[in-house]
C-alpha cells in the first residue's frame, strides 16, 4: 500500500522515528442456522451441550457433510471483499489436542482456501481513503468451550459452539497505524453486516481479531512480528497495537531483538503479555481431510449469488455523495450501518420535494437524531421520532416555515410527546415571522432604546449581532435571523 511514508503516522523513539506494521487475522462467525458440517443449531445461549450432534461430539464413525449455506455465505463475503473466488478448494485437518476439541483436529482450509486475494477500502481519520489487501478467506470449525467456574474440582466442556462455521479473513500487512487497523475492522464489520454473512457482534465473540504487529525504521524491510490473540473490541485492538508497538521499539532501542511470539492483551492493565514463543508453536501436521471431497462449484453459482447481493457501503456512499450532495464524511457516517442509511433514505422519500434537502436531512439525521439516540443509548430501530416526522420537520425548515432554532424545540416535543410536526407548528404558533412590517416595529424600538449601542455598531459592524440577539429574544426565536440582519443593516446604515 503506502509507497511513501506518512510522517504523521510515525512513532517517535529515543533514537529516531519508527513505523508500525499491522496485519489482522479476523475470525467471523458465519450467520447460518446450522453448523459447518452438521445439522445442529448455531443458536446462541442454549443450555450447555444442547446443540450438539454426533458429528460435533466426534463420535466414532460420524462423517461431516458440508452445509451449503455456509459455503454460499463465504462466497458472498468474498464478493463483498472484491476477492478472487476459488471454484475449487480443499479442507484440511489441523491437528492439536485440546479438551474442547473432541475430534483432536479442527477442519480448516490450509493450502487451498475458498477465497483468495481481495481489497477493503478504509476511510482514515485524516479524510483520505486507503486500501488494505486481503490475503485470503477460509472456512473452518469453531471449537467448544471449557467452563472452569461451575465446579470446585472439575472443568466442564460445552460443545454448543463446536463445529460452528467461522470465516478466517487474513489481511496483508498493509496497515501503518492503530487508527488504520481500527478503521479496517470497522469497515470489514460493516461489509459483513450489510451482506448478512456475520452479525459482527464482538461482545459475543462473533467477530474477533488476532493482531500482528511489528516495527521498523521507515523504508527498511519488515521487522519480526508478535501476534496478539483474540482481541474482541475495536477499541482494544487500537490500545493493544499502541502498547505493543512501543514495547517493541523500547526493546530494539535498548539493543535487544524481538522474538516472534504469541501474546495476550489485558484490557484492565492496558498491556500485552507473552503467551507462548515461536519455539513452543504447534506443528499442526495439516493434511487433506479424507472424509471430505474437494469443495467445487460453478461460476454460474457464483454469478447467481452475486446477482442477489445488496448495495454495499462503498457504493452506497458514492451514491449518497453524488445524488444528494453529501460530504464524504456525512455519507460515511450514514452508510456505516445499513439501518442508518435506510432511515436516511426513508426521510428523503418522505420529503415534500424528495431529495431537495438531502444535506439538510443528513444534518438532522446525524446531528439531532443520532446525537439524541446516542445520548439515550438507544438503537435506531427504537427511535421515538419516525422517518415521516423527521421528514416533516426538515420540510418545515426547508420551506422557511420555522427557523432552525425553533426546529430543535419542535424536535424535542416530537421526541418526548409525539405528534404531527406540521400540526404542532400551527397549534403552538411556532411559525417563523417573515413579515418585515411586524419585525420593523421591534427593530425600531430596540434601536431607539439603545443609542450607545448604535454608535458602537456603526464603528464596529460585527456588534450588529447584539441587535440580532435582542430582536430574536423579543420574538421568541420565531423571526428569520437573516431577515433581521438585513433590516438592521439598512436601518443602522452599515
Q: Which residues contact ligand ADP (rule: CB under 6 A)? A: 21-25, 170-173, 212-214, 222, 225
- Count the alpha carbons within 13 Å of 327 in the hemisphere toward its beta carbon: 9
For residue 363, how far is the Cα from the chain centroid? 20
Cell of residue 345, nine digits: 433514505
Q: What is the DSSP string of 367-424?
A: IIIIHHHHHHT--GGG-SS-HHHHHHHHHHHHTTSS-HHHHHHHHHHHHHH---HHHH
CB 221, min distance to ligand ADP, A: 9
CB 222, min distance to ligand ADP, A: 4
Closest Cα to residue 143, out of 108, 109, 100, 92? 100
Residue 260 vs 434, nearer CB to ligand ADP = 260
Residue 203 vs 280, nearer CB to ligand ADP = 280
CB 8, min distance to ligand ADP, A: 20
CB 262, min distance to ligand ADP, A: 11
Residue 28 vs 159, nearer CB to ligand ADP = 28
CB 52, min distance to ligand ADP, A: 30
CB 26, min distance to ligand ADP, A: 9
Asked if residue 468 lies in contact with residue 484, where contact means CB atoms within 8 angstroms, the answer is yes
CB 275, min distance to ligand ADP, A: 15
CB 21, min distance to ligand ADP, A: 4
Residue 170 vs 207, nearer CB to ligand ADP = 170
Residue 176 vs 317, nearer CB to ligand ADP = 176
Residue of closest CB approach to ligand ADP:
23
CB atoms within 10 A of CB 156: 14
Residue 42 vs 214, nearer CB to ligand ADP = 214
Asked if residue 261 lies in contact with residue 292, where contact means CB atoms within 8 angstroms, the answer is no
Closest Cα to residue 214, out of 204, 222, 206? 222
Residue 22 vs 122, nearer CB to ligand ADP = 22
**CA angle centred on 32, ends 26 and 33, rounded to 5°:** 145
Residue 144 vs 173, nearer CB to ligand ADP = 173
User: Grid cell 418526548 — which residue?
Assistant: 416
| CB burial string 355-380: b at 16+ within 10 A, e below | ebbbebbbbbbbebbbebbeeeeeee
Amino acid at each position: 500500500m503506502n509507497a511513501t511514508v506518512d510522517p504523521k503516522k510515525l512513532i517517535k523513539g529515543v533514537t529516531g522515528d519508527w513505523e508500525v506494521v499491522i496485519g489482522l487475522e479476523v475470525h467471523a462467525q458465519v450467520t447460518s442456522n446450522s453448523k459447518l458440517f452438521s445439522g445442529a443449531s448455531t443458536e446462541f445461549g442454549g443450555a450447555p451441550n444442547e446443540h450438539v450432534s454426533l458429528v460435533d461430539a466426534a463420535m466414532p464413525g460420524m462423517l461431516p457433510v458440508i452445509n451449503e449455506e455456509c459455503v454460499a455465505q463465504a462466497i458472498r463475503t468474498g464478493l463483498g471483499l472484491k476477492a478472487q473466488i476459488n471454484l475449487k478448494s480443499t479442507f484440511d485437518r489441523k491437528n492439536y489436542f485440546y479438551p474442547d476439541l473432541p475430534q483432536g483436529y479442527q477442519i480448516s482450509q490450509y493450502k487451498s482456501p475458498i477465497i483468495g486475494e481481495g481489497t477493503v477500502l478504509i476511510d482514515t481519520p485524516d479524510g483520505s481513503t486507503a486500501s488494505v489487501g486481503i490475503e485470503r478467506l477460509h472456512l473452518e470449525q469453531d471449537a467448544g468451550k471449557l467452563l472452569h467456574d461451575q465446579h470446585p474440582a472439575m472443568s466442564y466442556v460445552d460443545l454448543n459452539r463446536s463445529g460452528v462455521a467461522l470465516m478466517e479473513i487474513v489481511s496483508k500487512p498493509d496497515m501503518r497505524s492503530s487508527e488504520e487497523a481500527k478503521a479496517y475492522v470497522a469497515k470489514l464489520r460493516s461489509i459483513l453486516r450489510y451482506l448478512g454473512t456475520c452479525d459482527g457482534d464482538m461482545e459475543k465473540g462473533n467477530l474477533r481479531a488476532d493482531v500482528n504487529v511489528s516495527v521498523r525504521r521507515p523504508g527498511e524491510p519488515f521487522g519480526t512480528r508478535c501476534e496478539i490473540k483474540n482481541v474482541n473490541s475495536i477499541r482494544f485492538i487500537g490500545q493493544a497495537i499502541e502498547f505493543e508497538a512501543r514495547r517493541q521499539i523500547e526493546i530494539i532501542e535498548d539493543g535487544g531483538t524481538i522474538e516472534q511470539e504469541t501474546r495476550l492483551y489485558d484490557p484492565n492493565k492496558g498491556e500485552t503479555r507473552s503467551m507462548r514463543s515461536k519455539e513452543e508453536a504447534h506443528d499442526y501436521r495439516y493434511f487433506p481431510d479424507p472424509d471430505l471431497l474437494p469443495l467445487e462449484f460453478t461460476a454460474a453459482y457464483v454469478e447467481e449469488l452475486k446477482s442477489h447481493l445488496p448495495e454495499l457501503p462503498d457504493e452506497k456512499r458514492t451514491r449518497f455523495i453524488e445524488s444528494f450532495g453529501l460530504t464524504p464524511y456525512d455519507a460515511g457516517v450514514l452508510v456505516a450501518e445499513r439501518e442508518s442509511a435506510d432511515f436516511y433514505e426513508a426521510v428523503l422519500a418522505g420529503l415534500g420535494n424528495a431529495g431537495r434537502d438531502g444535506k439538510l436531512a443528513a444534518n438532522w439525521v446525524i446531528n439531532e437524531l443520532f446525537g439524541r439516540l446516542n445520548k439515550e443509548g438507544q438503537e435506531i430501530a427504537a427511535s421515538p421520532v419516525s422517518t415521516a416526522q423527521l421528514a416533516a420537520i426538515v420540510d418545515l425548515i426547508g420551506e422557511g416555515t420555522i427557523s432552525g432554532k425553533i426546529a430543535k424545540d419542535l424536535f424535542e416535543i416530537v421526541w418526548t410527546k409525539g405528534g404531527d410536526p406540521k400540526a404542532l407548528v400551527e397549534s403552538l404558533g411556532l411559525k417563523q415571522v417573515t413579515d418585515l412590517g411586524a419585525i420593523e416595529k421591534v427593530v425600531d424600538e430596540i434601536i431607539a432604546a439603545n443609542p450607545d449601542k448604535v454608535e458602537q455598531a456603526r464603528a464596529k459592524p460585527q456588534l450588529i449581532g447584539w441587535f440580532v440577539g435582542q430582536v430574536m429574544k423579543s420574538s421568541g426565536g420565531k423571526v428569520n435571523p437573516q431577515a433581521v440582519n438585513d433590516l438592521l443593516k439598512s436601518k443602522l446604515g452599515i
